[in-house]
Amino acid sequence: MHVAVFSTKSYDRRFLGAANAAYGHKLSFFDARLSAETSQLATGAGAVCAFVNDEVDRDVLADLASRGIRLVALRSAGVNNVDLEAAEREGIAVARVPAYSPYAVAEHTMALILTLNRKTHRAYNRVREGNFALEGLLGFDLNGKTAGVVGTGKIGEIVAKILTGFGCTVLAHDVRPNPACEAMGVRYVPMEELFPSCDLITLHCPLTPATHHLINAEAVRRMKPGVMLVNTSRGGVVDTRAVIKGLKDGTIGSLGLDVYEEETDLFFEDLSNRFISDDVFARLLTFPNVLMTGHQAFFTREALTNIAEATLANITAFEATGRAVHEVSVERGAGG
């Protein structure tokens, strides 16, 4: 099948190209993000392959349908950037990669937690400059602390397991409790109980209408003063302005983000020669107790291998049977 692959970087070409040796699809790689301005690049293809910040909205889907596209194969787990109802109306199937390496994201979450706590990013620079002072580097023992995991699916379950290994008491909240978490001693509680009880809160739920701004001003107000908040799920789960206020008044003791509500115009690009016009993001960068990465939690060799394999398997199955292996229905909703 001829596939127009959007938002590609050298690593996408490398991993998809290698996996495609066994599938034989015709892959046309485009640097451009999929949007109403770029969808014409898909002309002549039967499928489009898209990533997290591609805009697969109503207008783009209508345009893709008019060009004969019948499948959008996402290289991601979350589907929050796709208008699923519009896709159904246009007769375009949507496929995703439900699990490529939950370990990649869970382990990056731990990297944020450990770095924020022990400030190794600051210590690295100090030591290189001959500054061996410890002022400002004080951390805390994770052992014995209470951690809250919001969303205990594939990634949240692994995070809960690792935190349990560190000696934390793990509380969780999920609309569907996970028996594997209960078996390891995780206790499910309502959000009202989780917020004031936790020294550390980490978010692993999908972005849906129900989780949009789950962490808002009211949620921050209920949190334990000095809490560490970590988000590696989707930016929209957190109301950034409310969190900035929490950082300023000390309610939030430290913040780790791999995702940001308005990341579309920033992440995955080298903007180091430009200024950042997003004042909210720029404000986040001024806090010494904020650590941000640019949506890299998924970025391991294993994950990229699995993403490439599962994406091409989706396309092959769709071409052969009219159904992808992991097709997303409107009812299923975003991210799940």
User: Does residue 156 touch ligand NAD according to CB under 6 A?
Assistant: yes
Residue 211 touches ligand NAD, criterion: CB under 6 A: yes
Position closest to ligand NAD via CB: 153
- List Cα–Cα distances, 49 to 30, 66, 156, 214, 270, in angstroms: 10, 17, 27, 30, 22
Stretch touching ligand NAD by CB under 6 A, among 99-107, 160-168, 272-280, 315-323: 99-107
- Window 255-314: residues binding ligand NAD (CB under 6 A): 258-259, 295, 297-298
Choosing from 22, 36, 134, 175, the residue that interacts with ligand NAD (CB under 6 A) is 175
Examine the residue annotation and report whether 332 is marked as an active-site residue of this protein.
Answer: no
Stretch that binds ligand NAD, among 53-61, 111-119, 153-161, 309-317 (CB under 6 A): 153-161
Catalytic residue list contains 192: no
Residue 326 near ligand NAD by CB under 6 A: no
**Stretch touching ligand NAD by CB under 6 A, among 23-31, 97-105, 242-250, 318-326:** 97-105
User: Interface with ligand NAD includes 78 (CB under 6 A)?
Assistant: yes
**Interface with ligand NAD, residue 153, by CB under 6 A:** yes
Q: In this structure, what is the dihedral angle of CA atoms 152, 207, 74, 83, given to the nearest 10 degrees?
A: 140
Sheet strand arrangement including 93-95: 26-29, 2-5, 47-50, 71-74, 93-95
User: 3-state SS string over the chain?
Assistant: CEEEECCCCHHHHHHHHHHHCCCCCEEEECCCCCCCCCHHHHCCCCEEEECCCCCECHHHHHHHHHCCCCEEEECCCCCCCECHHHHHHHCCEEECCCCCCHHHHHHHHHHHHHHHHHCHHHHHHHHHCCCCCCCCCCCCCCCCCEEEEECCCHHHHHHHHHHHHCCCEEEEECCCCCHHHHHCCCEECCHHHHHHHCCEEEECCCCCCCCCCCECHHHHHHCCCCEEEEECCCHHHECHHHHHHHHHCCCEEEEEECCCCCHHHCCCCCCCCCCCCCHHHHHHCCCCCEEECCCCCCCCHHHHHHHHHHHHHHHHHHHHHCCCCCECCCCCCCCC
**Closer CB to ligand NAD, 29 or 299, in the complex:** 299
**Nearest distance from residue 97's CB to ligand NAD, in Å?**
9
Query: Could you give the string, one character per residue 214-243, with x where binding to ligand NAD holds by CB under 6 A and - elsewhere?
Result: ------------------xxx---------
Q: How far apart are CA 70 and CA 261, in angstroms?
A: 29
Among 155, 194, 230, 313, binds ligand NAD (CB under 6 A): 155
When computed from its CA atoms, the radius of gyration of the chain, rounded to whole angstroms, is: 21
- With CB under 6 A as the rule, give the number of residues binding ligand NAD: 33
* Smallest separation (angstroms) from ligand NAD to the CB of 333: 9
Number of CB atoms found within 10 A of residue 320's CB = 9
Q: Find the catalytic residue in 25, 70, 108, 234.
A: 234
7 lines the binding site for ligand NAD (CB under 6 A): no
Q: Which of 108, 263, 309, 326 is catalytic?
A: 263
Q: Judged by CB under 6 A, which stretch of 29-37, 56-64, 131-139, 149-157 contacts ligand NAD?
A: 149-157
Per CB under 6 A, does 210 bind ligand NAD? yes
Window 185-204: contact mask with ligand NAD (x via CB under 6 A): -------------------x
Among 92, 95, 205, 313, binds ligand NAD (CB under 6 A): 205
Q: Which two tokens stand for residue 82?
A: 């796709």
Instruction: Rule CB under 6 A: say whether 148 interacts with ligand NAD.
Output: no
Catalytic residues: 234, 263, 295
The contact set with ligand NAD (CB under 6 A) reads: 77-78, 99, 102, 105, 150-156, 173-176, 204-208, 210-211, 232-234, 258-259, 295, 297-298, 335-336
